[in-house]
Amino acid sequence: MSTHTTRRAAVAILAATAAAWTRAQPQPQALRIGFQKGSLNLALLKSYGLLEQRLPGTRIQWTEFPAGPQLLEALALGSVDLGATGDAPPVFAQAAGKDVVYVGAEPPKPDSSAVLVKPDSPLKTLADLKGRRIALQKGSSAHFLTVQAVKKAGLQWADIQPVYLPPADARAAFERGAVEAWAVWDPYYAAAEIGGELRALATSRGLTSNNTFYLASRALSQQPALLKILFQALTDTDARVQADRRDAVQRYADFAGLPAPIVQRMLDRRGPAPVGPLTAELAREQQQVADAFAELALIPRPIRVADAIAQVRA
């Protein structure tokens, strides 16, 4: 039996086991999920329909957001029940007193975001960012990447000129020369990279882990059986991605409206991404993110990340 066939068989067994377990669990009437263009596991979970299969009595509502801060604002307002973001959005939300709860995480993706400049830019090192305008989404993973890049360069935050823009607007500003650098994540990074419109001054490797977290409403965070279904469906989605990359690339390309080579580049720098509860190491890293923002007075008050982490059994 080929390795490819073996993987497909393993995925089928996992799916059958999960389906049998799910049938014995109580199911909510509705579940509202927020996702971003870069939320590959959630986008493909929607495409594969695994959650609809495992929660047949539940109406699943999917809503796309331009970035994590906007998603968590909707979560705090009660418009969605679950969403995935990078490291910074939950920190900003918690510091602002928003009631959002960490319930899960994916492994780090340190190659999936970067600080970008034009191919002919005179900026050659991170120290060259001094005095420069850098486009980034405020309160996003790109915000923390920029904080770390500035620190590594031996600069102060006041030495740069952050220009806070969502990804689409940031790209437009970058292309017309209104900013000299752009900090962003995949697939925006991959799209600009494949187009030959940039070079990476630095990726997040060595600067941040570029972690992905799953945040939920307080009510959902207290439903471990439902979270278990969600985690398993997301993990099985990732297993399908690993087993059939070609199908995953095409599905995600159709969802995101991107050419397949861009999606392939995005997947090439992303390892397996099963979803489970936060580890102690991830919690420590997230506290370091919070402390870095607090030290620079970029959030209104210091926070204790552990206060917002649900105790979810794997």
Dihedral over Cα of 166, 171, 172, 177: its sign: positive
**Could you state, in order of their start, the residue ranges of all structural domains in the chain?**
3-108+211-308, 113-203
Percent of the chain surpassing pLDDT 90? 85
What string of DSSP letters covers 177-209? TSSSEEEEETTHHHHHHHTT--EEEEESTTT--
pLDDT given at position 28: 79
pLDDT given at position 283: 96
Average pLDDT of span 71-81: 97
Instruction: Tell me if 113 sits within 8 A of 185, measured CB to CB.
Output: yes
Residue with the larger pLDDT of the pair 72 and 1: 72
In Å, how far are 1, 70, 282, 290 from 303, measured between CA atoms?
Answer: 53, 20, 16, 7
Q: What does pLDDT average to over the chain?
A: 91
- The C-alpha R_g of the chain, in whole angstroms, comes to 19
pLDDT given at position 314: 47
Structure tokens at 95: 């510091």
pLDDT given at position 312: 61
CA distance 12 to 207: 38
Indicate whether 260 pLDDT > 60. Answer: yes
3-108+211-308 architecture in CATH? 3-Layer(aba) Sandwich (3.40)
Indicate whether 15 pLDDT > 80. Answer: no
Q: Which one, of 45, 29, 86, 63, lies nearest residue 223 by Cα? A: 29
Average pLDDT of span 47-75: 95
Average pLDDT of span 129-135: 98
| 3-108+211-308 matches 113-203 in fold | yes
Indicate whether 124 pLDDT > 60. Answer: yes
pLDDT given at position 61: 97
Indicate whether 14 pLDDT > 50. Answer: no
CA distance 110 to 91: 19
Average pLDDT of span 216-236: 95
Average pLDDT of span 53-81: 95
159-213 pLDDT per residue, tens:
999 999 999 999 999 999 999 999 999 999 999 998 877 899 999 999 999 999 9
Maximal CA-CA distance, the chain: 62
Instruction: Tell me if 94 sits within 8 A of 139, measured CB to CB.
Output: no
Q: What is the CATH number of domain 113-203?
A: 3.40.190.10
pLDDT given at position 262: 95
pLDDT given at position 27: 73
Q: Which one, of 253, 144, 121, lies nearest residue 208 by Cα? A: 144
pLDDT given at position 106: 95
pLDDT given at position 41: 95
